[in-house]
A and B are shown apart, each in its own frame.
Chain A
Amino acid sequence: DIQMTQSPSTLSASVGDRVTITCRASQSISSWLAWYQQKPGKAPKLLIYKASSLESGVPSRFSGSGSGTEFTLTISSLQPDDFATYYCQQYNSIGTFGQGTKVEIK
């Protein structure tokens, strides 16, 4: 099975900060990677698919990059609505998720 490792587990940041989250795959997954945002008590929301494609309706401050085994999610200017937990998911084979990164208020 492909393992996904996210870092950091927790990130403290302020409104307006540039934030970067990393996701590493245990083997190459080409660009078959998605990023989700989850808020407490809610289902995850798809932000990015195919490593860098922005889901419809998602603000352009979110961007994704990478291929192979290393990927990043960047929020260019953190907004109050962005404090949440973020997960990566590989779908090269049936999807496994990273363990999550909680973005909290500094």
Chain B
Amino acid sequence: QVQLVQSGAEVKKPGASVKVSCKASGYTFTSYYMHWVRQAPGQGLEWMGIINPSGGSTSYAQKFQGRVTMTRDTSTSTVYMELSSLRSEDTAVYYCATNLRETTVTTPFDYWGQGTLVTVSS
């Protein structure tokens, strides 16, 4: 069955970086785009960016340009999201998400990871 399994919770100090992983299984990893979405405590959902696991191309929301890097490892079917220069406002649950019916960039998300809580605190 399809699974997106994310890495565990992280606690970081302001100014540090965090790298969250999302390991995919149960489908052809390189055929479907992967997105990252975050959710601050008690807040809504915010799209961060997208990676094409096949070629590695990325597109990021303007808000995160220069601070976020998304990469992938096809040998382990894993995508990574690294966010740098962390501040308290980056405290959030970070999700990876994909759509396995469409191979286009713009899709709704029918599969989600379980989420990774990143806490930024001094």
Residues of A within 8 A of B (CB): 1, 32, 34, 36, 43-44, 46, 49, 55, 87, 89, 91-100
Q: Residue on A with the closest CB to B46?
A: A97
B61 neighbours in A (Cβ, 8 Å):
94
Binds A, one of B7-15, B24-32, B72-80, B111-119: B111-119
12 sampled A-B residue pairs with Cβ under 8 A:
A32-B106, A34-B108, A43-B113, A44-B45, A46-B108, A55-B110, A87-B45, A89-B108, A91-B108, A92-B106, A94-B105, A96-B47
A-contacting residues, B38-59, CB 8 Å: 44-47, 50, 59
Min CB distance B52 to A, Å, is 13
A interface secondary structure, majority? loop
Query: What residues of chain A lie closer than 8 Å to B105, measured between beta carbons?
Result: 94
B114 touches A94 (CB 8 A): no
**Number of chain B residues whose Cβ lies closer than 8 Å to a Cβ of chain A:** 21
Q: In the complex, which residues of chain B have a beta carbon less than 8 angstroms from the beta carbon of A91? A: 106-108
Interface residues of B in 77-122 (CB under 8 A from A): 95, 97, 105-110, 112-115
Question: Is B109 within 8 A of A98, CB to CB?
Answer: no
Instruction: Known A94-B50, A94-B59; judge A46-B44 contact (CB<8 A).
Output: no
Residues of A within 8 A of B45 (CB): 36, 44, 87, 89, 97, 100
**Inter-subunit contact B113/A94 (CB<8 Å):** no
Q: Which residues of A contact B107 (CB under 8 A)?
A: 91, 95
Q: Is B112 within 8 A of A97, CB to CB?
A: no
Task: Tell me the nearest residue of chain A to B59, going by C-beta.
Answer: A94
Cα of A16 to Cα of B61 in the assembled complex, Å: 40
